[in-house]
Chain A
Amino acid sequence: MSTLAPTTCTISLTVNGRPHVAEVEPRRLLVDFLREDLGLTGTHIGCEHGVCGTCTVLLNGASIRSCVTFAVQADGAEISTVEGLARGGEMHPLQDEFSEKQGLQCGYCTPGMLMRACEILAENPDPTPAQVRSAIASNLCRCTGYQFITEAVIGAAARMRATKEVTS
């Protein structure tokens, strides 16, 4: 067992568009940094061994499991969490569709699922239900059985494509 005294590192990162500079122990998990140091408790902890995906956030647009990522590994990165989805009091189409389709029951897996869904739709704006189901297999849900989540993501995809057509 190491007897080295804990040292800290300085990290600079952007979270939901806001820059932060912080001193962290190297061992501090990114999920704990976000939740406790930044007060962004929307990202949840399910297993702490990288299996369930509850802790999913985006790092430079790519989904990662923040329970098996050290905060120091996010130095210089742009992190997106669920708190950054709604803009000016209006929910993101994914959030609204999850409510419309009842894609959540206890809500615990929901933030991670939403962030993963952002990545899924960024990669493929027009997925089939089978493609959505396969992609969300990365995130466990114990309540919904995934059916209404799939419907919500498909619904959001349609709305996001329509908005894009209107604005482009």
Chain B
Amino acid sequence: MTTVDRAAAAPPVRDHSAKRRWVGQSIRRVEDPKFLLGRGGYIADRITPGTLQAAVLRSPHPHARILRIETAQALAAPGVHAVITGADAAKLCNPMPDFGPDPARHTWRCLAADKVRYVGEGVAVVVADSRYLAEDALELIEVEYEPLPAVVDPERALADGAPLVHEALESNCAYERTFDFGDVERDFAEAEVIVRDRLRWHRSGGQPLETVGAIAEYDPGTGSFTIDTNTLSFTSYLFMAANTLKVPANKLDIRPVPAGGSFGSKLFANKPAVIAAMCSRATGRKVAYLEDRVDNISNCDHHGSDRIYNVELAMMRDGTMRGIKIDVVDDYGAYIQFGVGHHGNALAQVVGPYMIGSVRYQVRAALTNKNQQGAYRGFGSEVNNWMLEQMVDKAARELGLDPVAIRRKNFIREFPHFIPTGNVYDSGDYDRVLDKALELADYSGWRAEQKRLREEEGRYIGIGLISAQERSVFSATEFWFWFDEPGAPVTSTPESVSLKVDATGGITAILYSCAFWGNSPETMVAQFVAEEFDCSPYDVSIVYHGSRDGLPATGPGGSRTTVMLAGAVEGAAGKIKEKARRAAAHLLEIDPDDVEWSDGGFQVKGDPERKKSLAEIAIALHLFKHSFPADMESGLDESKVFDHPYTTMPSADRKDLGVFYPFMGHACHVPVVEVDIETGAVTFLHYAAVHDCGTLVNPRSLAGHIVGGTAQGIGTALYEEFVYDDDGQLLSSSFLDYLIPSAMEVPELTIGHVETPSPYTPHGVKGGGEGGRMMAPAAINAAVNDALFPLGIRLTELPMTPERILSALRAAGPAAGGAG
């Protein structure tokens, strides 16, 4: 794309009003009362008497053929209504919806039919009067397996002769491609220093306290399924789930209920809904399937990224970054439902906040005998942040440069800025964020303290400083720009809102697929509506609409909710106001151009005495048709289907991926840690975090996400890992071993906000919900490495468990001290 094309393709630059009444206020969330009263209405709360319950029998083997399943005894057990095996399910249902590269050959079903491919994969489901009775019956199912060799290490999976996870694919490499952006060869030829490293990021996952669940009812009278679930997204794509259930798309209605957390793991997680629906049709009854914790850990289909990086960073001696070569192997597990979209997230901000001119990105997706990856807060971009910041710190050490100075030297300072991949950073001020972080962190104070504690007490204190990006609002192109000839080059990721003004002037906002995950969509919408109509946000009624007869919507993910809801509300409000203007003008007997919106109604310009409030306009439109011209319909409700406001197409040669993630936030995290070299324990002495997500709608709410995201980042950095042993057994199969940080592992954060508005969005908002987790692992790794630098130790593998830290200390020899 040329510069001219790029300018033409950008949305118009907006003026943002300086006067905002509700946007920017840390109001109490409108969602809260029901949750505080214990009336949250989560999926498990909605099970009515007479609903049957399902339980899934999971494979104990990482890789095995299913030779025989005997279900007669289970079927005869008390309270059992049905037992459905994977073979049965393959007749009742088509494969699961799958955005992977080759679904026909890495076929994914709701239950394994001929072969199990990971410990925990479902092989049968029992439907009974209660979950207790269903689990009793599970124990009566006899399965004869023929164990097969398991493949667990992704590099070995890619090597010749590895056991094949999917024979039909004839390889464990589900996808492989090398992309070159900019002039990589030149930058590397001209570089004075090449900094190299190998880095390993192990998989962790969202693990919200509420698992995925669905209540399904099949109505044979209409041939329709109605499913309540805590995982509704991408409504326009639900025809795929309907196809799985072998019904037409307009015979499937999926209705959202509040979710007890998601962090990505409830994004398009349709397997429980499919299982519940299949069971409902088989039994003729309403069926609930609620994952329990072991189901979720082993079989959720939402493990996070699991990567091996080999990286080269081309530098000049003065610290200028020229180019980067990234070779990444990503262990996707046994299926690959979202393709390599996680790498699209990386490519959106692959050069971080730096003026790196060229990128080579070689990605290989390996299949192994593990649960598949899904979505986890950051969706792969947090891993790139970590890798890049590790390289920057390594470069600083090798070149003898200060970690702050090397970053400043390379900061992007002019916006909008197009990075080598073609994506754009819409706005930013990285110096300002860094300055504020250094101040809040008392950086120079801690550097002095670090030195003192080392010299006087022999303690190992480390300060991590990272500056990194947090992209928001993904485009559909990142699903398919991986292929030169994609099967489905989709370009829609809309979000819709309907606004209805009733005869009393009360406003109802209808959300479609924009599920509540803890991310406050109701409060966001209420604040936007209040801003538009000068009402109280607590007077706005919010309704969630099901998929079948709802408007198209995508739901939360990629920090898109705030921007997309802002656009949808703005659009719908604009239409309401346009009709209300005409109506008011008619009632005031004046030309529509002579009225203006002011303080809750339309008034004659400059004459507040001659005004019609929204309520007056609304009641007239609802009840007094004959007061209006023939072409004006009764009522006052309008909808907006808000499409992604800034997407451009990739070039045919894929040297330019176009704009696909334009609203670019940024943050700086500065943790101070102490490493106990006798035990490998890492404790926090201080933690400062400054984020810039554009204009903030509810600053307190964003701060809450920063802390929560950072807590998950602490988990990823130090505690959380889905551990599979060399035989493919899942060792961390419960909360006893999958370690979630408690209040004692998470420090109090000192939080700062910077706001550089987006030029392209309503109010200049950007997304920010993922940010904490996108920064913390990089920052904590940097801090630990800073602490252990005097011992010559640098950790390049997450999580940095005590075992890994102590192993590194032992390997460094007696000089490193170490335990014992």
Contact = CB atoms under 8 A, between A and B. Distances in A.
| Contact present between A and B (CB < 8 A) | yes
A134 interface: yes
A111 B36 CA distance: 7
Nearest to B700: A102
A153 to B, nearest CB: 11
Contact of B208 (A41, A102, A108, A149): A108
Contact of A49 (B31, B293, B707): B293
Contact of A142 (B704, B734, B740): B740
Contacts of B746: 145-147
B749 A91 contact: no
B37 A83 contact: yes
B185 to A, nearest CB: 45
Contacts of B210: 44, 46, 106, 108
Contacts of B132: 25, 27-28
A145 B36 contact: no
B38 A40 contact: yes
A144 B740 contact: no
10 contacts: A98-B36, A106-B260, A108-B210, A108-B260, A110-B36, A136-B743, A142-B708, A144-B704, A145-B709, A150-B748
A137 B744 contact: yes
Interface residues of A, number: 55
A144 B38 contact: no
B36 A107 contact: yes
A23 interface: no
B416 interface: no
Nearest to A106: B518
B40 A91 contact: no
Most chain A CB atoms below 10 A, which of B36, B263, B518, B704: B36
Nearest to A97: B36
Nearest to B28: A99
B707 A145 contact: yes
A66 interface: no
Contact of B259 (A82, A95, A106): A106
A140 B44 contact: no
Interface string B31-51: 111111111101011010000
Interface residues of B, number: 58
Q: Which 8 A-B pairs have the closest CB atoms?
A: A42-B38, A108-B260, A107-B35, A106-B518, A145-B707, A145-B711, A105-B518, A82-B38
Interface string B598-634: 0000000000000000000000000000000000000
B796 interface: no
A47 interface: yes
A133 B32 contact: no
Contacts of B734: 47, 49, 51
B522 to A, nearest CB: 12
Contact of A111 (B38, B708, B742): B38
Given A107-B35, A107-B260, A107-B518, 17 more contacts: A35-B44, A35-B45, A47-B209, A86-B37, A95-B37, A104-B32, A105-B704, A107-B34, A108-B260, A109-B260, A143-B518, A143-B704, A145-B704, A145-B746, A145-B772, A147-B748, A150-B743
Contacts of B735: 47, 49, 51-52, 140
Of the listed residues A43, A95, A102, A137, the one surrounded by the most CB atoms of chain B closer than 10 A to its CB is A102
Contacts of B708: 105, 141-145
Interface string B349-360: 000000000000
Given A102-B28, A146-B743, A91 B36 contact: yes
Interface in A78-102: 81-83, 86, 91, 95, 98-100, 102
A140 B707 CA distance: 14
A148 interface: yes
A1 B139 contact: yes
A129 B700 CA distance: 19
Query: How would you classify the secondary structure of chain B's contact residues: helix, strand, loop or mixed?
Result: loop
With a 10 A CB-CB cut-off, give which of A1, A41, A51, A142 has the most chain B CB atoms: A142
A28 to B, nearest CB: 8
Nearest to B290: A45
B146 interface: no
A47 B334 CA distance: 25
Contact of B261 (A83, A98, A106): A106
A150 B290 CA distance: 31
Q: Is the interface of A mostly helix, strand, loop or mixed?
A: loop
Contact of B293 (A47, A105, A114, A137): A47
Interface in A1-43: 1, 25, 27-28, 35-36, 40-43
A120 B711 CA distance: 23
A48 interface: yes
> Interface centre among B28, B37, B710, by most A CB within 10 Å?
B37
A54 interface: yes
B742 A99 contact: no
B208 A106 contact: yes
A81 B39 CA distance: 12
Nearest to A84: B38
B29 A109 contact: no
Contacts of B516: 106
Contacts of B292: 48
B372 interface: no
B783 to A, nearest CB: 17
B29 A99 contact: yes
Nearest to A36: B47
Nearest to B133: A6
B557 to A, nearest CB: 16
B712 interface: yes
A104 B29 CA distance: 9
Contacts of A102: 26, 28-29, 700-701, 704
Contact of B742 (A41, A110, A137): A137
A111 to B, nearest CB: 5
B386 interface: no
Contacts of A150: 743, 748
Contacts of A149: 743
A108 B293 contact: no
Nearest to B735: A51
Interface in B689-724: 700-701, 704-705, 707-712
Contacts of A143: 208, 261, 518, 704, 708
Nearest to A150: B743
Contacts of B139: 1
Contact of B704 (A41, A46, A140, A148): A148
Of residues A36, A106, A147, which shows the largest number of chain B Cβ atoms within 10 Å of its Cβ? A106
A104 B701 CA distance: 10
B33 A99 contact: yes
Contacts of A106: 35, 208-210, 258-262, 516-518
Contacts of A140: 209, 735, 740, 742
B36 A99 contact: yes
Interface string B121-134: 00000000000100
Contacts of B700: 102, 148
A128 to B, nearest CB: 12
Interface string B245-274: 000000000000011111100000000000
A74 to B, nearest CB: 18
Contacts of B40: 42, 107-108
Interface string B744-774: 1010110000000000000000000000100
A109 to B, nearest CB: 5
Nearest to B523: A102
B12 to A, nearest CB: 34
B35 A110 contact: yes
